[in-house]
Structure 1
């Protein structure tokens, strides 16, 4: 299948409820995902999850969000027709006027080639670790990587 690209000045936006069900997707999101608005609204956001995406990255994402923190992550998504596209995502909790989390807001940009040259082989290693040793093996790999690079995921992921 083909790798889809979008322009560096274009932004993909989507919003979900607290259960990860899509409540909004901008035109670029719909185009790259290959779904109509009718088909994707209220569907789980993982409808676009690519099978080559390490599960540990989504565990990190949800751990950060549940703690009320924003997170940045490189993600490969899969379109309805099987094509794929890479994004650099910034996901943040959305709050109501009382301070309660009511959903999540994701803004995604095109990642740089420099970043993808680092992330693609790393994700292959994480995926292989998950296939052979489960989530605990990939989590161990992430923790060891972070220890070597300052100990913080956000600092590491923003360094390239």
Structure 2
């Protein structure tokens, strides 16, 4: 993914206020292999506050929030470069300096040889309990480690954290989202392992309306 270029729009100063937006909507964007924006839908423009002409040809990290640990983006790129199914939770920075949390679903456009040529990303709002109770504490710790000891140390901590739970980053995100859905439905009935796995496999299709 390309770094923020000299011609990029100036980053705003973050403020601790959330963007007010219609969280039933889906944010969509299309980038090239280097994360350069080629298309952004109206919801993307409305939520981030940048006009279309400000977004086009800019690196997608124009909306990267400084609260985000870099290791999360490393995990993301390690996966999507391979064309893996990936869902990640990210805190973004709007032009106003406000923040907004999203969970991303990736699709891949391929050339005639089967090589990935573009990334299509769809983003939806993340339930607040998932952020407050799980993601924010983890990301704050990863960011603290990065600032003190670098991204390699942060990655080692994340690997150890996930190993302890016996799951990958995507598994963790899926479990958090499914558990939250069940809690919102007051569904505390224990389920068999096979049924739980089936529920997890189908969750993001339902969530993103595939």
Shorter-normalised TM-score: what interval? over 0.9
SS for the counterpart of 1:19 is coil
Q: Give the unaligned 5+ runs of structure 2.
A: 1-14, 177-210
What corresponds to 1:128 in structure 2? Answer: 144
What corresponds to 2:160 in structure 1? Answer: 144
- Cα deviation for residue 50 of structure 1 reads 0.5
Misfit runs of 4+, over 6 Å: none
Give the aligned CA root-mean-square deviation in angstroms.
1.2
Please point out which of 95, 99, 108 is paired with 1:80.
Answer: 95
User: Quick check: which one's strand share is greater?
Assistant: 1
Give yes or no for the alignment of 1:97 onto 2:112: yes
Rounded Cα–Cα distance in structure 2 between residues aligned with 1:128 and 1:109: 27
- Cα deviation for residue 109 of structure 1 reads 0.7
Q: Which moved more, 1:88-97 or 1:129-138?
A: 88-97
- Cα deviation for residue 151 of structure 1 reads 3.0
What corresponds to 1:31 in structure 2? Answer: 46
TM-score by length of 1: 0.94
Q: Relative contact order (C-alpha < 8 Å, sep 6+): which is higher?
A: 1
Residue by residue over 1:92-124, the C-alpha shift from the partner in whole angstroms, topping out at 9 and shown as x without a partner, is 332123312111111111101121021011110
CA contact under 8 A between 1:64 and 1:71: conserved in structure 2?
yes
Q: Give the unaligned 5+ runs of structure 1.
A: none
Rounded Cα–Cα distance in structure 2 between residues aligned with 1:5 and 1:155: 29
When Rg is computed on C-alpha atoms for both structures, the one with the higher figure is: 2
CA contact under 8 A between 1:69 and 1:92: conserved in structure 2?
no
